C-alpha cells in the first residue's frame, strides 16, 4: 500500500512538472526577448528570424482616384532585407510602417503571398531605427507567433561592447 502511495505521489509530481518543462522551449535569439512576466510563451512558436543585409527608406504620398480633394495620404516605411537564420524559412524581408504616436498598433503579421513580415511602430521610433541600422554590428528582425495568439515582433542588434 505504501509503495502504491509513493508511486502515485511520484507520478503526480511528474505530471505537475510537465508544464514547467514545456515552458522551457529555447529558440535562437531568446536573449532579445524580455522576461515572460505573465507566462504566456508556453509553446514553440512559429518563428521568423533574419539578419538585415540592406534597407531602404521610402517616403510616399498617395491620392486615390475619386477621393475628395485634399485627401492625399502620406507615410514612410522601411524595407528590410537579409538572409534567414532559420533553415527552411522563406521570410527574408520586412516592411516596417510607422503610425502617429498614440495610435493603435496592429501586431506583427506575415504576408504569405509576398513572404514578408509586416511590422508597425510609432513614427517616433524611425530615427532610433535608422541610427541602429547605421551603427556597426549585426542587426536582426524577429517575429514569433504563439499558438495562444501571442505575437512578438522586433528589430534588435547583436550584443555590443561600449567603446571607452
Strands (E) across the chain are located at 46-62, 73-84, 93-99, 109-111, 116-122, 139-145, 151-157
Residues 53 and 28: their CA atoms lie apart, in Å, by 18
Residues 102 and 84: their CA atoms lie apart, in Å, by 32
Q: Is the pTM of this model over 0.85?
A: no
Residues 153 and 85: their CA atoms lie apart, in Å, by 16
pLDDT band at 84 (very low <50, low <70, confident <90, very high): very high
Please enumerate in sequence order all residues whose Cβ is within 8 A of that of 93, keeping only pairs 6 or more positions apart, or say none. Answer: 79, 80, 81, 114, 115, 116, 117
Residue with cell 522601411: 78
Predicted local confidence at residue 50, as pLDDT: 98
Average pLDDT over residues 37-52: 95
Q: What dihedral angle (degrees, nearest 10) is formed by the CA atoms of 24, 107, 128, 101?
A: -140
Beta bridge partners, 82, equal: 52
Asked if 118 contacts 97 with a C-beta cutoff of 8 angstroms, the reply is yes
The domain ranges of the chain are 43-61+74-164
Strand-pair category, 151-157 with 116-122: unpaired
Q: Comparing 21-25, 97-101, 106-110, which segment has the lowest mean pLDDT?
A: 21-25
Rounded to the nearest 5 percent, the helix, strand and coil shares of the chain are 20, 35, 40
How wide is the angle at C-alpha 143 spanned by C-alphas 142 and 147, nearest 5°? 150
Amino acid at each position: 500500500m505504501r509503495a502504491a502511495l509513493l508511486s502515485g505521489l511520484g507520478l503526480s509530481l511528474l505530471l505537475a512538472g510537465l508544464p514547467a518543462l514545456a515552458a522551457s522551449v529555447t529558440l535562437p535569439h531568446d536573449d532579445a526577448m524580455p522576461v515572460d512576466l505573465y507566462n504566456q510563451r508556453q509553446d514553440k512558436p512559429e518563428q521568423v528570424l533574419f539578419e538585415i543585409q540592406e534597407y531602404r527608406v521610402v517616403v510616399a504620398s498617395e491620392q486615390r482616384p475619386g477621393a475628395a480633394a485634399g485627401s492625399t495620404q502620406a507615410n514612410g516605411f522601411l524595407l528590410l532585407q537579409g538572409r534567414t537564420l532559420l533553415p527552411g524559412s522563406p521570410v527574408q524581408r520586412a516592411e516596417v510602417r510607422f503610425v502617429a504616436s498614440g495610435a493603435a498598433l496592429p501586431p506583427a503579421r506575415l504576408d504569405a503571398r509576398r513572404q514578408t513580415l509586416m511590422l508597425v511602430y510609432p513614427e517616433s521610433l524611425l530615427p532610433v531605427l535608422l541610427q541602429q541600422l547605421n551603427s556597426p554590428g549585426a542587426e536582426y528582425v524577429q517575429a514569433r507567433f504563439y499558438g495562444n495568439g501571442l505575437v512578438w515582433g522586433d528589430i534588435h542588434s547583436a550584443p555590443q561592447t561600449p567603446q571607452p
